[in-house]
A = this chain, B = another copy of it.
Amino acid sequence: MTDLREMGERAAAVRTGLQAMSAEKKNKALLLAAERLTERSDEILRANGADMESAEQNGMSQGLKDRLKLTGQRIGDMAEGLRQIAALPDCIGECMEEFERPNGLKIRKVRVPLGVIGIIYEARPNVTADAFGLCFKTGNAVILKGGSDAIRSNAAIVRVLRDAMEEQGISRDVLQLIEDTDRRVTVEFMKLKDYVDVLIPRGSAGLIRSVVENSTVPVIETGTGNCHVYVDKDADLDMAVRIVYNAKTQRIGVCNACESLVVHSAVREAFLPMLEAALREKSVELRGDERVRAVLKDAVPASEEDYGTEYLDYILSLKTVDSVEEAIDHINRYNTKHSDCIVTEDRGTAEKFLNGVDAACVYWNASTRFTDGFEFGFGAEIGISTQKLHARGPMGLRELTSYKYVIYGSGQVRG
């Protein structure tokens, strides 16, 4: 089996150098890596072809094959991603706060890398370049464990990136890939607490659960989204239709898509037929409670389980409530603390909702689909955190950093 502690030692060995590396040097290295990715795309495509062949033989579903497959265009997109990261400002070393104590101690709170970041993901080779770019830009060493179905693609991408680092006089060990596909190695990776400062799982709810349950390394949970839109009695109903239509159908397989509609009973009869007409275009299946079905004859009954389900499909659950308070309680019971929206023209009602709903992002009159690092203007995104510790919502570069206190004295001792 792979010696993970040895990989950990190698990551630790490059940490100090990475932390001190100038923004200029890091950006140049990212640009060169982008260039090499496109130059060596044949090599990457060959490796990906072999992965695709195995996938075919193993009967992988079409959806997963779509995610696994690389093309010249997709490799170009990876390279462009690295260029975009290079163009972002560097936040490492910035002084976040500075204060002086009565005893003369000067204390500076300085932004530093997290150190060594572990990323566990599924068979999506584009994550490989992307995760490397974000971690490298923030001065972190990274150890990747990708899905075994993409192992040859990932190994090829990592080889190109590591070669590009070496070409610049940077240690190859800023990026390491666990190539061993033995599941025990993955579990061992989750216990590599002496070397890894944080683990970020990217993928299905099952993958994330497994990491949370097994890891002794601190984890940032990302990406499960049971997002709600609440249409209030004072909603602009045309706006509400546009928002729900967008949040439900613009892209169904993403964590910020709307999975559940909550509607105030007072507008139920006016609103639901409008919504049904709009969603019919995309053949969205509607699953509602009794009061919803009294209006929408074609809707099927919604179970308790429906309200807790992230469909990632053309399905919407619907719930009727009699007040914003009831809407808040329902949402807090079933949401995944990701993104929830109220549509209303009443500021007081909106404020109640925005304060009361416990989620990373709460919207007033806008689609939940905006929960995204790029849409927020962060210029990058490693994922959407659904936990409250460390980072919440879209995680960009700053969310991949920590801080240290640097204390300047002149011989002070404690009395």
Q: A393 touching B389 by the CB < 8 A rule?
A: no
Give the docked Cα–Cα distance between A216 and B361 (Å). Answer: 24
Q: Does A155 contact B (CB under 8 A)?
A: no
Task: State the Cβ distance, A404 to closest chain B Cβ, in Å.
Answer: 6
Name the residue on B nearest A361 (C-beta).
B405
Task: State the Cβ distance, A317 to closest chain B Cβ, in Å.
Answer: 20
Q: Does A242 contact B (CB under 8 A)?
A: yes
Q: Mask for A209-251, Cβ within 8 A of B = 1, else 0? A: 0001100101110000000000000001001001101110010
Q: Mask for A1-23, Cβ within 8 A of B = 1, else 0? A: 00000000000100110011000
Identify A105's interface contact among B20, B362, B370, B405, CB under 8 A.
Answer: B370
Q: B19 touching A388 by the CB < 8 A rule?
A: no
Q: Does A363 contact B (CB under 8 A)?
A: yes
Q: Does A77 contact B (CB under 8 A)?
A: no
Name the residue on B nearest A242 (C-beta).
B413
Q: B243 touching A413 by the CB < 8 A rule?
A: yes
Q: Does A377 contact B (CB under 8 A)?
A: yes
Residues of B within 8 A of A366 (CB): 105, 407-413
| Segment touching B, from A52-60, A286-294, A350-358 | A350-358
Q: A355 touching B19 by the CB < 8 A rule?
A: yes
Identify A246's interface contact among B12, B406, B408, B414, CB under 8 A.
Answer: B414
Q: B16 touching A367 by the CB < 8 A rule?
A: no
Task: State the Cβ distance, A360 to closest chain B Cβ, in Å.
Answer: 6
Q: Does A387 contact B (CB under 8 A)?
A: yes
Quick one: given A242-B411, A364-B407, A414-B250, are A216 and B213 in contact (CB under 8 Å)?
A: yes
Residues of B within 8 A of A213 (CB): 216
Q: Does A126 contact B (CB under 8 A)?
A: no
Q: A197 touching B365 by the CB < 8 A rule?
A: no
Residues of B within 8 A of A412 (CB): 365-367, 370
Residues of B within 8 A of A107 (CB): 376
Number of interface residues of A (CB under 8 A): 68
Identify A236's interface contact among B101, B250, B411, B413, CB under 8 A.
Answer: B411
Q: Does A314 contact B (CB under 8 A)?
A: no
Q: B216 touching A193 by the CB < 8 A rule?
A: no
Indicate the member of A220, A369, A405 with the most B CB atoms within 10 Å.
A405
Task: State the Cβ distance, A345 to closest chain B Cβ, in Å.
Answer: 10
Residues of B within 8 A of A402 (CB): 388-389, 392
Q: Does A115 contact B (CB under 8 A)?
A: yes
Q: B355 touching A409 by the CB < 8 A rule?
A: no
Q: A410 touching B365 by the CB < 8 A rule?
A: yes
Residues of B within 8 A of A239 (CB): 411
Task: State the Cβ distance, A269 to closest chain B Cβ, in Å.
Answer: 22
Task: State the Cβ distance, A336 to closest chain B Cβ, in Å.
Answer: 11
> With A105-B366, A218-B219, A242-B413 given, can you name 16 additional A-B contacts, CB distance below 8 Å?
A12-B332, A16-B328, A16-B356, A101-B377, A114-B388, A360-B404, A363-B409, A364-B409, A365-B408, A365-B409, A367-B413, A367-B414, A370-B414, A376-B405, A388-B402, A389-B389
Name 16 interchain pairs, CB-CB below 8 A, sorted by A: A16-B328, A99-B377, A101-B375, A101-B376, A114-B388, A197-B388, A213-B216, A359-B404, A360-B405, A362-B406, A362-B407, A363-B407, A364-B408, A366-B407, A366-B411, A370-B414
